Amino acid sequence: MKKIKMGMIGGGSGAFIGDAHRRASRICNDFELVGGVFSADFEKSKQFAKTEGISNNRCYPSVDAMIHAELALPLEERIELVAIVTPNALHFSFAKKLLLAGFHLVCEKPMTMTVDEAMELEKLVNQKKLTFALAHTYTGYPMVRQMKDLIAQGVLGTIQRIDAQYYQGWINSIIHGTESRITGVWRLEPEHAGISSCIGDIGVHAFNLIEYTTGLTIKQVLSDLNSVQKEVKLDLDATVLLRFSDNLKGVIRASQVCAGEENSLTIAVYGSKSSLKWEQENPNYLYLLSDSEPTKIYKPAHGYNEAFAEASHTMPSGHPEGIYEALANIYKGTAKSIRGVNFVPGEFPTVHEGLRGMKFIHSVIESNKLGNVWISI
């Protein structure tokens, strides 16, 4: 098929997330990056476009300029999908403009700064009948998708406990540095990051992974947050108790100040018959645990997996895949949606998952603010 023309907002030189999206779109092989606004500094944006082999006349000084110029092109030449990979505070305004102009979107998380903004985007996506994919990348791993299908089949029996953990250590060195370092990191600045650092950046991934794999809805949260140092304005460490129902509870533990931790995202779902465990740093292994049988290990690219998992690997068995391939699976599902090709629900997180995530973040912050009380999402 002809490749879908893609634009990008943000993600220029030195931006890890922008680079991840470009690599994923290439692995997916359904998209061609043809233009964008890669930096707030137009000269830097043009320099980056040159290194990427993008035509100078498709590198724009602003989002408004890009929309105006692209809509003036013939339909078969213009950008169809735009990836928004900017700091959090810019997501909503850019997404709204682009949706109103008729562009499909892939957007980094969290989707917006407020719940009201998220509700507005969900309404707009439904009105415009456009594809909106949210970059909850971990849902793209084959063994996460295998976990989702096994749980749906009832392999675990009655679910009795759900635990998720996301530990990082990268902010540790920053907060123990100079004040200028603390104030120079946008994820620690409310005007750029929003009301949360730890929960908004990584805790929401754990939340999304729980609802994605189990198909369950978290009803209430009770949180205890810690900014670690008084000059830090946002949470850096969090424990969140979860209520799904009277008989099902769980916990999310998230931290950005665990020295030595890199990207330790894990999820465990415990049932009456058996349990499933998965960890992001060893993503090719899904463990099925039982009281009565030896532990079973599922791996990608094997015929014993469900069809969804098998359609999500790109390499033969024994060849490790990682974050780029997982994000590529989200882009693959997005391309199917844009082209009107049938796709499996769950191939990419939607604007609805973006709204759920914002409700979770704000409920967690409110619970902590009110003195660690239960808050309904």
CA distance 286 to 268: 10
What is residue 134's three-state secondary structure?
Answer: strand
Question: What's the pLDDT tens digit per position in 189-216?
Answer: 999 999 999 999 999 999 999 999 999 9
* Predicted pLDDT at 1: 80
**Higher per-residue confidence, 200 vs 315:** 200
Average pLDDT of span 3-15 = 95
Question: What's the pLDDT tens digit per position in 35-74?
Answer: 999 999 999 999 999 999 999 999 999 999 999 999 999 9
* Predicted pLDDT at 177: 76
**Domains in the chain: ranges and CATH:** 4-138 (3.40.50.720), 142-315+351-369 (3.30.360.10)
DSSP string, 246-293: TTEEEEEEEES--TT--SEEEEEEEESSEEEEEETTSTT-EEEEESSS
* Predicted pLDDT at 137: 97
What is residue 178's three-state secondary structure?
Answer: coil
What is residue 185's three-state secondary structure?
Answer: coil
CA distance 57 to 55: 5
Nearest to 226 by CA among 360, 372, 87: 372
**Higher per-residue confidence, 1 vs 314:** 314
* Predicted pLDDT at 306: 96
Average pLDDT of span 260-282 = 98
Query: Per-residue pLDDT for 373 more than 90?
Result: yes
* Predicted pLDDT at 180: 59
Report whether 250 contacts 292 (CB < 8 A): no
Report whether 144 contacts 209 (CB < 8 A): yes
For residue 324, give Cα distances in angstroms to 9, 209, 313.
Answer: 19, 17, 12
Question: What's the pLDDT tens digit per position in 95-141?
Answer: 999 999 999 999 999 999 999 999 999 999 999 999 999 999 999 99
Region for residue 14 given its phi and psi (left: phi exceeds 0; alpha: psi -120 to 50; beta: otherwise): left
* Predicted pLDDT at 46: 96
Q: What is the pTM of this model?
A: 0.95
Average pLDDT of span 254-274 = 97
In this prediction, residue 344 has a pLDDT band, given cuts at 50, 70 and 90, of confident
Provide the token pair at 50: 């040159």
The pLDDT mean for the chain works out to: 96
In this prediction, residue 338 has a pLDDT band, given cuts at 50, 70 and 90, of very high
Residues above pLDDT 90, as percent of the chain: 92
Query: Per-residue pLDDT for 259 more than 70?
Result: yes
In this prediction, residue 335 has a pLDDT band, given cuts at 50, 70 and 90, of very high
CA distance 119 to 114: 9
In this prediction, residue 357 has a pLDDT band, given cuts at 50, 70 and 90, of very high
* Predicted pLDDT at 179: 60
Question: What's the pLDDT tens digit per position in 138-190?
Answer: 999 999 999 999 999 999 999 999 999 999 999 998 988 766 577 678 899 99
Report whether 256 contacts 168 (CB < 8 A): yes
